[in-house]
Structure 1
Amino acid sequence: MPTVNEQLQAAAISHAVDLQHLSNAEAHKIIKLLNSVDSDLRAQLIAAVERLGAESYTAKHMNTVLASVMALNKEIYSVIFEAMAASVVEIGKYEVAYQGALFTKVIPEQVLVQVDLATVNARQVREIALARPFQGRLLKEWTSDLEASRAAKIRDGIRIGMVEGQATDQIVRRVMGVKAEGYKDGLLERSRQDIESMTRTAISHIAQGARDKFYKENADIVGEVRWLSTLDSRTSAPCRLRDRLVYENDDGHAPVGHQVPWGLGPGRIHWNCRSTSVPIIKEYEALRLAKGLPESTRASMDGQVPQSISYGEWLKGQSAARQDEVLGPTRGKLFRDGGMSIDSFYNDKSKYLTLEQLRERDAAAFSRAGL
């Protein structure tokens, strides 16, 4: 039977996968919010550019006629902040509840009656989410910065177009992009990429912050934490360096058996970080439990750091249904029957390849999988 620490490690990998799915959904929701004002923004841009006029164009005049455009831009980012703030606080609460339920499930009942599990309250979660910076700024500050950056892109696009003598529709196209290209050719595409990165990073920040707080509140049983960067092999250099390393469960997170610093921690060490952590329960003797517990309980609480496994190894041990849930039905079948590895589903920028791209890359795998 797996030890408590082995069960916690397997659960951490599975949970990290689920959080990635949640992060994808939240990023999609926020981008949809940002896009919701596109039609109004386009209409106001057209009106503003036509009011500018090539003969009367000045920076001061442009700021005046763009007032309604900038007000709309500011308004949507205010809506985005409120939506993000509500989401990350709820995700933080969920993470605390998940960790509590997980500990209750895997730690033997005979142990739990002697060691009270502590929790993290709603006020502490909200502080982690909204009052602790990630990548140097608070969530509200990042939202404000992205709003200002998008406003600057709008002004720059108009300014360049006016200087080049472009027509109104050309200027608006430069800023907004065209439908045939999925609007990805416009200057505002970068704003969508930026808001997606902020959303993903904010979610990983609160999830890891809630985990850290829960582990520290239960430092009487959690002696150390392990860094896990096993979502796939296309991790960043800082995360590859720290993958599977062990750290003390305290504010300093001192390295255990190595000299690589914790830095900002998993999920927060860089933008879009997908690394996570897993708690390591103290050895049975260190817990100073009452004597007379069954040998099976003592064995499950051996406290040893389990042999680490990769994301691919973990996924191979899951049911077909879980594989399909993680990868999608077609990729799941390619993984099981087509001989394709996890790495083969990604390009060199860690983005999922489409099924058409996968077929072009390895048609034989589709044939082996009967697809």
Structure 2
Amino acid sequence: MASANERLADAAVGHAIDLTRYSNGVARRMIALLNRADTELFAQLMDALERLPPQSFTVQRLDSLLVSVERLNAAAYAAVGADLDTELVALAGYEASYQHKLLESVLPSAVAESLTISAVSASQVHAAAMARPFQGKLLSEALKDIEETRATRIRDAIRMGFLEGETIDQMVRRLRGTRALNYADGLLEIDRRGAEALVRTAVNHTASYSRQALFEANADLVKEWQFLATLDGRTTITCASLSGKTYAVGTGPQPPRHWNCRSTSVPVLASAWEALGLSKSEIDPGTQASMDGQVAADVSYSQWLRGKPAAFQDDVLGAERGKLFRHGKVSIDRFTDNKGRVYSLDDLRKRDAAMFERAGL
């Protein structure tokens, strides 16, 4: 039977996949919000440009006419910030609750009867996570940077358009892109991708901080934590090199390590006798074996997935890809992108409940 630490590591990989899918769903909702705001923004932009004939163009006149556009841009990103914050508050509570339940589920009965796992406050975890920078910036600062960069991109593109004699339609098309390509060919696609990366990274940052807070609150049980990367074709060398290494709780290179990072952290439990303050001889052999304090061996994504039932593989990859994966005809690197799947927090709750049942936890 797998030890408590091995079960925690196994659960962490599956949960990280689901969090990635969830973050993709949140990113799409935030981008949809920006896209809706862009309808009014481009209407304002065209109105401003129509009031500035080419022969009357000056930088000062253009900047004054773009004030309303900049206000709309700022309002759109403020709305994204507010919606994202609401989402992250809920996520902080969910992640702390999930990890609490997971710890309880893997403890041998002899330990569970004598040890109470401490809970953490969702609001306090969220506030602390938002006060902690990731990639050198607070979430609010990073979002403000994207907003200001986008406003500057709009302004500079219009200045260049006037200097090069472009029509209003040409300037707007260069910024917005074409409907035929779903507007992905516009200059502002750069900022959409930046916003998506920010949202995904913020989700990982919040979840990671929630886990660390729970680990710290249970220092008598969690002796250290292990870095666990999602090992597939998109994993960075940095994350791959850290995967499997352990650190004291509250220290070490915690995820996310970069924008769009999918790495996670898993608790490493002390041995049963260490957690209870007893000698090893006072613990029965079964409990000793299930909670021995040994770090789980690092497992690659492919190794982990190959050990799952066919139905689970099909759920992650799709039915046909699952068959190809099982028969070894296609490399996992070809179809491990989960961006097409969108999970809400309710979906995560249902999925995790099913996972616990399958694992008999």
What is the distance in 2 between the residues matched to 1:337 and 1:40?
52
What is the distance in 2 between the residues matched to 1:344 and 1:352?
13
What is the distance in 1 between the residues matched to 2:171 and 2:233?
42
Matches within 5 A, 1:1-371: 1-249=1-249, 251=250, 253=251, 262-263=252-253, 265-267=254-256, 269-287=257-275, 288-289=277-278, 293-337=283-327, 339-345=329-335
Secondary structure in structure 2 of the residue aligned to 1:52: coil
Alignment coverage as a number of residue pairs = 338
What is the distance in 2 between the residues matched to 1:27 and 1:240?
25
> What does the per-residue CA deviation read over 1:47-87, in whole Å, with 9 as the maximum and x for residues that have no partner?
11111111111122112211221111111111100011111
Under a length normalisation based on structure 1, what TM-score does the superposition of the two structures give? 0.86
* 8 Å Cα contact 1:231/1:274 also seen in 2: no
| Cα distance change, pair 120–36 in 1 and its aligned pair in 2 (3 A) | same
Q: Which amino acid aligns with 2:211?
A: R
**Matched-pair identity in %:** 43
**Deviation at 1:110?**
2.0
> What does the per-residue CA deviation read over 1:308-361, in whole Å, with 9 as the maximum and x for residues that have no partner?
211111111212222222223332232124522212336xxx8989xxxxxxxx
Secondary structure in structure 1 of the residue aligned to 2:54: coil
Structure whose residues are more often helix by fraction: 2
Gaps of 5+ in 2: 341-361
Q: Which amino acid aligns with 1:242?
A: L
| Cα distance change, pair 338–285 in 1 and its aligned pair in 2 (3 A) | closer
**Deviation at 1:137?**
1.5
RMSD value, Cα? 1.9
**Deviation at 1:233?**
4.3
**Structure 1 counterpart of 2:359:** none
Q: Which amino acid aligns with 1:277?
A: S
Q: Which amino acid aligns with 1:196?
A: E
Secondary structure in structure 1 of the residue aligned to 2:227: strand
What is the distance in 1 between the residues matched to 2:328 and 2:3?
33
Secondary structure in structure 1 of the residue aligned to 2:55: coil
What is the distance in 2 between the residues matched to 1:40 and 1:266?
37
What is the distance in 1 between the residues matched to 2:105 and 2:309?
21
**Deviation at 1:150?**
0.8
> What does the per-residue CA deviation read over 1:169-202, in whole Å, with 9 as the maximum and x for residues that have no partner?
1011111111112211211101100000100110
> What does the per-residue CA deviation read over 1:180-237, in whole Å, with 9 as the maximum and x for residues that have no partner?
1221121110110000010011011111111111111111011111111134243212
> What does the per-residue CA deviation read over 1:230-269, in whole Å, with 9 as the maximum and x for residues that have no partner?
34243212212211111122x3x2xxxxxxxx33x122x2
Under a length normalisation based on structure 2, what TM-score does the superposition of the two structures give? 0.89
User: RCO higher in 1 or 2 (8 Å CA, sep ≥ 6)?
Assistant: 2
What is the distance in 2 between the residues matched to 1:148 and 1:352?
27
Q: Which amino acid aligns with 2:268?
A: I
| Cα distance change, pair 352–102 in 1 and its aligned pair in 2 (3 A) | closer
Q: Which amino acid aligns with 2:259?
A: W
* 8 Å Cα contact 1:345/1:352 also seen in 2: no
Gaps of 5+ in 1: 254-261, 354-371
